[in-house]
Structure 1
Amino acid sequence: MIALFTTRVKSLYPKFTMAERKVADYLIMNGDDVGEVTSHELAKRLDVGQSTVMRFSKKMGYSMFGEMIADISSSADGPCTEIKDEDSPLMVMGKLEGRYCDLLRAAIASNREESLEEAARMVDEAGNILCYGYMESFLLASRLCWSLVGLGKNAVCDEDLIQTKRRLRLLGPEKGLVIVLSKSGEKAESVGVAKAAIDRRVPVLAICDASDNPLSKLATSCLRVVEVADRSTPMTSMGVDASVMLVIDTLIASVYQRDRRGYAGTYREGLVAAFSERR
C-alpha cells in the first residue's frame, strides 16, 4: 500500500505539524525498512515525541500504530499501481484493479466492529431518514437512500441544501436520523447539515474520510472511507468511490442482518410492487 500511503500523506500534509511531517517524510522515504519498528523506536530515530508518532498514525486513519506499520511493510514489495504514459489500456485496467483493492482494504482497516454495529442499529431503529451529500457525494448519498428504501425505510435524499434543512425540521430526535456523506468531511454544506441536525438533537451518522475532520467531530457516529485529495489528473482520484460503495453496502447488509426475516419480506414486497407498476 506504499503508493496509496504516499497519496494519503500528500493529501493530509497541510494538516500535519512540523514534527508530524518529519514522520511522514521518513516513512515515505524508508517504507521498505520500517519492518517491525515500534512507535518508541521510530520516535527515537526521528528525535520526536512518541505522542507525535501516535498522533500521526491517528491522523492517517489507523486505530493503532502497528496497523500502519503492518500496512506499509506488507505492501512495500507489491506491484506498482502508478499509471504511466506508456501503459496500454489493459495495463491501466490491471493497475486500477490493484488501486481498488488497496482502497477497499484501507476502508476495512479504518472501520471498527463496534462502529459498524452502532451505525446499523441507528438505521434499524430510525423511523425517518434524511440522506445528504454535496455535489458528487449526492450521487452516492442517493444510492444509499434508494438502498434504504429497498429495505422498507422511509428515507429521502435531496441535493438542495435549503430543501434539506427544511426537511430536517420535520425530523424528531426519537425516530429521526440524518446520514451525511462527505468523502473529505470538510465541505461546509455537509458540515452545516450535520450541525443543524445536532442542534435539533437529531442523531447524525457520517460517512467520511478516515482522518479527523469537522464532520466526524460533529457526528453521533461515523463510518470511515478513504479520500484522496489529489485531483491533478483523472487517474489520481480513480477508485476512491469504491471504498464508499463498500461502506454503503456493508451498512445496508448489516441493517438487514438485524432482522433478516422482516427485511426480506419488505424487500420482496417492494420488488413485486415495482414489477407490477412496470407492467
Structure 2
Amino acid sequence: MSKDILSIIQTNMNTFSKGQKLIGRFILDSYDKAAFMTASKLGKTVNVSESTVVRFAAELGYDGYPAMQKALQEMIRNKLTSIQRIEVSNDRIGNQDILSMVMQSDVEKIRMTLEEVDRDSFDRAVDAIVSARRIYILGVRSASAIASFLAFYFNLIFEDVVHIHSTSVSEVFEQLLRIGPRDVIIGISFPRYSRRTVKAMEFARDRGAQVVAITDSETSPLTAIATHTLMAKSDMASFVDSLVAPLSLVNALIVALGRRKNSDLSETFGVLEKIWDEYEVYEKVEDSF
C-alpha cells in the first residue's frame, strides 16, 4: 500500500463506524504512540474492542493489524524526534523489566532479519566487494560504530580500504574524490537516516562505483541508490538505536568475505604473528594490569 496511512484514514473518516472513528482520530492525533501499541492496548485506549481494531485495519486494506502497525512504524521511523522517542519508549516499557524487554526485542530483530534477508543480494554484495579495487566504508552518527567495526576487519582482509571519517559533507566528498567504476562503497544508515550518507552514495553511484547499502527497509533512501541492499531490522530503545541485528549481519558479511579470501587472510595473520613476536607486542601477564 503506497499511500500514506494517515492520508487514507483522513480521506475515509466519514465512512467509518463510531468505533472506527475513535481509532482513526487517535491514530491521527497520536500516531507516534499508536504505532507501537498492540491491538488490545489500542482498543482499551479508545474504549473499543480488540476485534474492532482488527476490523479497522482490514477496512483500510491491510492483511490484519500487524500489517497496519508495520505501515505506521515505517512511516514514522525517520520522523520522531529524540524527545518523542523517549516518550514512546516509556509508554512501551511501562512497568516491565527493562533488561528483559530490550534484549528480547534485540533477539526478535535478529530473527526477523534472518527470515527476511535476501540471500542472493548478500551473495552479490560479497562478489562485488571481493572484486573491488578499493573499498570505501561510510557510516555516521550511531552507524559510525558499525562502520569502524567493519573497517577494522576489512583492513585485515583487503589491501585498499578507506574508512571515511567526516564532520561535514565537504570532507566526505574530499575522501571520495577518486572513487570510480572499479570501486565499491558500503553505506550504513538507519532511522533517522543520514543525509550525508545518502549524498555520498549518490556521488559514488554517479561515478560508476558499485553501491552496497546496509539499512533497514525498502523505504530507506539508501535502497533506491544501492546496487546491492542488505537489510537488517533496527529498533529504537528510548533515544538509543538498537543495532544488534545490523551488527550480526555485518559479522556474517565479514565471515563470508574471510572465507573467500582465506589464503590471503592466513598469510596476513602469519605476517602479523611474526611482527608481534619480533617487536614483543604481546604483554606479559604481570605487566598488563
TM-score range, shorter chain: 0.5 to 0.7
| Map of 1:137 onto structure 2 | 143
**Structure 1: which 5+ residue stretches go unaligned?**
1-13, 32-41, 63-81
Structure 1 length normalisation: TM-score? 0.66
CA contact (8 A) 1:185 1:213 kept: no
Task: Give the letter aligned to residue 196 of structure 2.
Answer: E
| Map of 1:46 onto structure 2 | 58
1:112 aligns with 2:118: yes
Partner of residue 156 from structure 2, selected from 127, 150, 155 = 150
| Map of 2:191 onto structure 1 | 184
Partner of residue 175 from structure 2, selected from 142, 167, 173 = 167
Distance 1:61 1:154 in 2: 39
Deviations 1:242-269 (A, max 9, x none): 1121011111111123243333333443
Change (3 A) 1:271 1:182: farther
1:212 aligns with 2:212: no
Distance 2:204 2:9 in 1: 34
Tell me which of the two structures has the higher relative contact order, counting C-alpha pairs closer than 8 angstroms and 6 or more residues apart.
1
Partner of residue 29 from structure 1, selected from 31, 39, 62 = 39
Distance 1:251 1:190 in 2: 20
SS of the aligned residue for 2:162 comes to strand
CA contact (8 A) 2:234 2:244 kept: no
CA RMSD of aligned residues (A): 3.9
Task: Give the letter aligned to residue 199 of structure 1.
Answer: D
Change (3 A) 1:181 1:109: same
Change (3 A) 1:46 1:179: same
Distance 1:103 1:118 in 2: 23
SS of the aligned residue for 1:130 comes to strand
Deviations 1:51-110 (A, max 9, x none): 999x97996999xxxxxxxxxxxxxxxxxxx6444x6xxx54333331221121122223
Change (3 A) 1:145 1:185: farther
| Map of 1:197 onto structure 2 | 204
1:121 aligns with 2:133: no
SS of the aligned residue for 1:218 comes to coil
Larger of the two Rg values belongs to structure = 2
SS of the aligned residue for 1:156 comes to strand
| Identity within the alignment, % | 16
Deviations 1:222-250 (A, max 9, x none): 1112233x56x35xx46x22112101111
Structure 2 length normalisation: TM-score? 0.64
Change (3 A) 1:104 1:61: farther
CA contact (8 A) 2:134 2:160 kept: yes
Change (3 A) 1:127 1:57: farther
Change (3 A) 1:110 1:210: farther
Change (3 A) 1:195 1:29: same
SS of the aligned residue for 1:150 comes to helix
Distance 2:64 2:105 in 1: 29
| Map of 1:254 onto structure 2 | 256
| Map of 2:232 onto structure 1 | 225
Deviations 1:96-144 (A, max 9, x none): 3312211211222231110111111111111211111112211211111
CA contact (8 A) 1:191 1:214 kept: yes
Distance 2:260 2:149 in 1: 21
